[in-house]
Amino acid sequence: MEHIVTDMGCNASIDDREESKSEKAIKAAVLIQKWYRSRRARLEISRRYSLSIFQSIEYADEQDQAQLASFFTFMLERYASPDAVADTSISPSVSHEVDSYLTEYENIEVPDSYCGPRLSFPLTLADANALLHAFKNGQLLHAHYVLKLLCETRRVLKEKPNINLVSVSYSKEITICGDLHGNLDDLFLIFYKNGLPSEKKPYVFNGDFVDRGQNSMEILIILFAFLLIYPNDVHLNRGNHEDYVINLRYGFSNEVLRKYKVHAKVILYLLQDVFSWLPLATIINKKVLILHGGISDTTDLNFLYLLERNKLKSLMRPPKPEREEQGKEGAPTARPSTCAANEHVAGKTRRLSSSGFTELSCPNSQSGPTLKEWKQVMDILWSDPRMQNGCLPNKRRGGGCYFGPDTTARLFERYNLKLLIRSHEFKREGYELTHGGKVITIFSASNYYEEGSNKGAYIRLNPDLIPHFVQYQVRECTDKQNYLERMKTIERSALQILREKIFAHRSTLTEAFEKYDCDNTGNISVSDWAAAMESVLCLELPWRTLLSHLAKTDPDGKVDYMSCFHNMEIAQSTEEVQPALVETLCKYRKELEVIFNIMDEDHSGLISFDEFRKTWRIFSSHLGIDAYDASIDKLAQSIDYNKDDYIDFSEFLEAFHVVHKRDKKPT
């Protein structure tokens, strides 16, 4: 009996120990799981606010662009257009001015030493493949061929209607791509995964081919080449970045100036016109509307179909209100007809309705765009969807509207549509469905803000009009980093551009903080700090979440608001220059770069003191900024490092780049 009892006791002891080990293992697993989930949650919060920072500052920049548009246009008119031609944004004689440059390529010889592709017109698939091969190897297409390509592209685009009507047969799909923004590797990857454009593989490219990335010109050349080879199977919609004023700020103009130097201004001038001839939208099987931005509660597809789109060289310069009355006689109007047409006929236009298309006469107006025409195009290129009903001005971007599901439903009912495909917005997964799946956003530029920040995607639309999404991501450094490292890289980059924004508004922010600091303690509450940040920067960011990254707090939880600026300074010390001037230069670095690139006739990258003074006078007078010549001279001397009375402008830009003090390189 004792033996049995002893055995039972031993067994119980062993079981207890095993149960104890098992419990510890479970508890350890639970703890690890909790830690992992907590870590992932923190990383997700970090990812979300980082992308919010990128997007908010992007939209704020677009607002600034709209405000400075008239100035940039003035600079172009005065310094950049070939032979300093007159205003091309609304000039009735613009077509004649452009015509005078259409044969410019004939005056440009291609030297025997040129080893890039030599194009023969009309283009063939062999020419397109030669371009793809050359660009993969970092070669440039000679300016002679670029100008000839632009002339041929313009000719083809002029024959296109404002809204392309595409019919997908039951034997093939159609591919829709969103923003590419100069990311050539994304286009190569799309072609690798999906195949090159052809009669059996039609494509719609939904605008924003240029800006931000490094290879906008190469993307344009490839798309224009395939358009010439397959004019009925490659469809290009205009985006809000196919606009010469926008291009000044976001990199495309600078890219062309850098790559094509002496011929750059003629290329840019012709591109102004080519962009204005890009169609505004595409409709597939009369059911799927594809346009770059979105719609508004006043979007009228009939009106859009009839207007003269090439009058709108830039949407950054709205016509004056009185033009609306003056232009009424030339505004598109419809008249009844019993004849339906299914293709575009030169000199004719058609009215779009739910029942089909009616042949109409096209007015031959030589006036500039009316306010209604400008707004109709602005809305479809700049608008964004929202979840709530209604249609409101898009104040974050400074143009277009926020349109709700009710606005979408009304447009669908009016024109018997079933799907709206648009681009225009960064999406982490490359696409997004809103309004009950009736509105699709497609974004094809992967790694848009930072390496690893997002996937790109495109749509394959089958004959039943059911979208199939294909995601991808160009990988360079991301394969070498784990998820944590990628998120940290994205976070650091986002916080850096936010700190630059904060530093550039130091004076205004300090005034806002001091309004809450009645006792001059240097500390304010978190809510007051957040309110001050938002009132000045208007970025709609989660300031409370970002507080620990931007400022210090005392033991009572009060924010030391001046600590926002403690770890930030400009890269090059300029103690002798008045702080207000330095702050202004930091704030307007991008704008000054645009001005300099326009004025740098010899593309030397150097600017004399006189040119620098002239540049600043033009800009400061436009903005109403007070700055004395003595201050400007002292500033110029402080960054003339080799004392030759010239400023290396790249060094100037770097000198007024905001950095962390601990990151500043020793001199």
> DSSP assignment of 525-583, as one string?
-HHHHHHHHHHHH-----HHHHHHHH-EE-TTS-EEGGGGTTTEEESS--TTS-HHHHH
Q: Answer whether residue 662 shows pLDDT above 50.
A: no
Per-residue pLDDT at 71? 65
Q: Rounded distance, CA 431 to CA 459, Å?
A: 9
Residue 221's pLDDT band, with cuts at 50, 70 and 90, is very high
Question: Which of 105-119, 304-318, 322-336, 531-545 has the weakest average pLDDT?
Answer: 322-336
Per-residue pLDDT at 29? 72
Taking alpha carbons only, the member of 422, 342, 350 closest to residue 167 is 342
Tokens coding 155: 């000719």
For all residues of the chain together, what is the average pLDDT? 81
Q: Answer whether residue 257 shows pLDDT above 50.
A: yes
Q: Known catalytic residues? A: 241
Residues 385-400 have a mean pLDDT of 92
Q: Rounded distance, CA 500 to CA 495, Å?
A: 9
Write the DSSP assignment of 146-196 as a string of letters: HHHHHHHHHHHHHTS-SEEEE---TT--EEEE-B-TT-HHHHHHHHHHH--
Task: Give exposure, 295-333, as e/b (b: 16+ Cβ within 10 Å).
Answer: bbeebbbbbbbbbbbbbbbbbbbbbeeebbeebeebbbe
Question: Which of 70-84, 92-106, 143-157, 517-531 has the weakest average pLDDT?
Answer: 70-84
Helix spans in 261-370 (H): 264-276, 301-306, 322-326
Tokens coding 562: 């001046």
Backbone angles phi, psi at 279, to 5 degrees: -60, 155
Taking alpha carbons only, the member of 138, 136, 140, 132 closest to residue 114 is 140
Q: Rounded distance, CA 385 to CA 381, Å?
A: 12
Show Cβ contacts of residue 518 under 8 Å, excluding neighbours closer than 6 positions: none
Residues 29-57 have a mean pLDDT of 76
Angle made by CA atoms 513, 515, 520, in degrees to the nearest 5: 80
- What percentage of the chain reaches a pLDDT higher than 70? 72
Residue 229's pLDDT band, with cuts at 50, 70 and 90, is very high
Q: Which residue has the higher pLDDT, 158 or 578?
A: 158
Per-residue pLDDT at 362? 41
Taking alpha carbons only, the member of 504, 512, 485, 620 closest to residue 569 is 504
Q: Which residue has the higher pLDDT, 165 or 501?
A: 165
Question: Which of 254-263, 315-324, 497-506, 571-580 has the weakest average pLDDT?
Answer: 571-580
Residues 515-536 have a mean pLDDT of 94
Chain-centre distance for alpha carbon 270? 21
Each residue's pLDDT tens digit, 597-627? 666 666 666 777 777 777 777 777 766 666 6
